[in-house]
Amino acid sequence: MTTVDQIISRMIQALGARNMAEMLRISGFSTAAGSTWRKRGCVPDGSIARIAALANVSFEWLKLGTGEMRPPRGNPEAAPPGSELEGMVIADAPMRTGRGPFQLTAEEAAIMEMLRDLPEDERKRVEAEIMTAWLTCRQKKKPMGSQGRA
C-alpha cells in the first residue's frame, strides 16, 4: 500500500522541487495541504491529478508508484481513472436553461475534485472568479443592441 509520504515524495520528484513546501507553492496548494493530507491519511485524487497535469506525469505512477513516470506521447493520463465524478450527468445545472444534460469529462471531474479539496473560503473565491470570467465572456458574445430598451 502506498503511503501519503510516498505520494508526497513522488509529487516533489515530479515537479523537481527541493521539498514539500516548494512543491506546494509551485502547484498552488496552501502551505497546510501537506499536513492535512498526512492527518487524513490520504492525498485526494484531485490533488494528485493537479500535480500529474502540471508535471506531465502518469496519474497511476504518482498515486501508486506503478507504471511509467511519464505517459506515452499523445496519451496523457493527468485525470484520475475512475474518478467518482467522471461521467456524472448534470441535468439541472444553474445557467443551462434550455440545454440538455451533459456529462463530465475526466478533466472536468479532476477540476471539480480540486475545487472540493480547497478550504471553503478559497473555494468560494475561485468560484466567484470563474463566474466573473464566464459572465464577461458571455457579455462579449451578445450582439450589439440586444440589451433591453426602456
pLDDT tens-digit profile, the chain (150 residues): 568 999 999 999 998 999 999 999 888 888 899 999 999 999 988 888 888 888 888 888 999 888 888 765 544 444 444 455 555 555 555 545 555 566 666 667 777 777 777 788 888 888 888 878 777 777 776 654 544 444
Q: Would you list the domain boundaries of the chain?
A: 4-141
Domain topology for 4-141: 434 Repressor (Amino-terminal Domain) (1.10.260)
pTM of full prediction above 0.75: no
SS3 of 70-111: the string is CCCCCCCCCCCCCCCCCCCEECCCCCCCCCCCEECCHHHHHH
Q: Who's near 42: CB < 8 A, 6+ residues apart?
A: 4
